[in-house]
Amino acid sequence: MSDEEPLLEVRDLITAFDTDAGLLRAVDQVSFQVKRGRTLGIVGESGCGKSVTAMSIIRLLPQPMGKVLQGQVMFKGRDLQKATDVEMRKVRGGEIGVIFQEPMTALNPVQRIGKQLSECFLLHTKMSRKEAWEASIEMLRLVRIPAPEQRIGDYPHQLSGGMRQRVVIAMALACKPDLVIADEPTTALDVTVQAQILDLMKQLQKEMGMSVILITHDLGVIAETCDEVVVMYAGRVVERAPVAELFERPLHAYTRGLLDSMPKLDTPRKSVLPTIPGMVAGLADLVPGCRFCQRMGREGPVLRERPMFEEIHPGHWVETCPNCFEEPA
Ligand SMILES: Nc1ncnc2c1ncn2[C@@H]1O[C@H](COP(=O)(O)OP(=O)(O)O)[C@@H](O)[C@H]1O
Ligand SMILES: [Mg+2]
């Protein structure tokens, strides 16, 4: 495989939920690539389709309502949408590790963490129980959990939130995956622990060379960790760019709104940050045209026709809605 070929390529993904109101699209023709060894950030407010995108990639959509209607998920040259369930179980945890927001959803409260970590090795490698146990202790050491020989016998509730998330990271990384998908991995943690965990993930990525998809509603987290950024709004990618480019030259009104609502170093304490007015429309109410115009209460043809998604500068793509797309002066 050439260096240029992305590790993961999502092409024109459409994911819908079968509801009483019909088939509603939560992800509407989303495309992006993840390069080897790189971190792609997916950012957007709550409800924009970030988690559904992740669940579609690893085929863990809520069943039977969730359905991928269209698109490909090319991973190491094959389409995961066409893989069998047995193959997908091997991919998950083996080649793709997953970290969710709330560590307790990934951990079994009634099993010692050593048993849960060992399980990853037993499922995906040919290790013996004893080897898996030793490897588990090594993983706890790798994620900087102090006294791993003791902690391995603990139950999840005996650990702090930050330590639990380290265990989840250890589980996601156990089999040296090519890709880690981290969906709001630090949102449930307090700020100092959040910084430690992000730092740890960065270091581990450097050591192990994996690619990461980092999903967050927090542009601050993106700035710290990502190489490239996808901005999602209402099920669509409205802008995509290398991270420095996005922060220097945001082209879409939604991205600018997110940036303006972010505290800066020179923001006086206790000042009120601007917020984007209104809310993301519900799935049943989304217009075919520009959804940010819909939020801003605009009318007319912009609501009926989907804006083009165009490359304005090398690697910098944006939905060129006449109202929302603007080149900075
Ligand atoms: N099981 C489900 N059934 C129906 N709608 C869902 C389901 N899960 C998520 N959705 C809807 O899909 C949209 C995208 O959700 P999600 O991907 O979780 O957003 P994000 O992760 O960006 O906060 C939201 O409108 C949400 O209400
Ligand atoms: Mg989410």
Tokens representing 189 are: 């943690």
Residue 275: strand, helix, or coil: coil
**Is any ligand 1 atom within 6 A of the Cβ of residue 26?**
yes
Which residue's C-alpha comes closest to atom 11 of ligand 1?
A: 26
Q: Residue 194 has what pLDDT?
A: 87
Delineate the domains of the chain, giving CATH numbers in brackets. Answer: 8-233 (3.40.50.300), 234-262+274-329 (no CATH)
Q: Residue 82 has what pLDDT?
A: 97
Burial of 105 (0-12, 13-18, 19+ CB in 10 A): exposed
Ligand 1 centroid to residue 100 C-alpha, Å: 15
Q: Residue 268 has what pLDDT?
A: 80
User: Which one-letter DSSP state was computed for residue 91?
Assistant: I
Q: Residue 3 has what pLDDT?
A: 54
Each residue's pLDDT tens digit in the chain (329 positions)? 455 789 999 999 999 999 999 999 999 999 999 999 999 999 999 999 999 999 999 999 999 999 999 999 999 999 999 999 999 999 998 999 999 887 777 899 999 999 999 999 999 899 999 999 999 999 999 999 999 999 999 999 999 999 999 999 999 999 899 999 999 998 888 888 888 889 999 999 999 999 999 999 999 999 989 999 999 999 999 999 999 999 999 999 999 999 999 887 777 877 788 889 999 999 999 999 999 999 999 999 999 999 999 999 999 999 999 999 998 77
Ligand 1 centroid to residue 313 C-alpha, Å: 32
Which ligand sits nearest to residue 19's alpha carbon? 1
Ligand 1 centroid to residue 63 C-alpha, Å: 13
Ligand 2 centroid to residue 46 C-alpha, Å: 6
Tokens representing 172 are: 């996601």
**Is any ligand 1 atom within 6 A of the Cβ of residue 307?**
no
**Is any ligand 1 atom within 6 A of the Cβ of residue 273?**
no
Q: Residue 153 has what pLDDT?
A: 96
Q: Please state the atom number of ligand 1 nearest to the C-alpha of residue 53.
A: 17
Q: Residue 295: which of 278, 318, 283, 282 has the closest Cα?
A: 278
Q: Which long-range contacts (CB under 8 A, 24 or more apart) does 259-265 make?
A: 259/219, 262/219, 262/220, 263/220
Q: Please state the atom number of ligand 1 nearest to the C-alpha of residue 54.
A: 17
Cα→Cα distances 265→207, 256, 262, 275, Å = 31, 17, 10, 18
Which ligand sits nearest to residue 101's alpha carbon? 2
Q: Please state the atom number of ligand 1 nearest to the C-alpha of residue 280.
A: 25
Q: Residue 189 has what pLDDT?
A: 84
Q: What is the pTM of this model?
A: 0.94
Q: Residue 37 has what pLDDT?
A: 95
Q: Please state the atom number of ligand 1 nearest to the C-alpha of residue 283.
A: 25
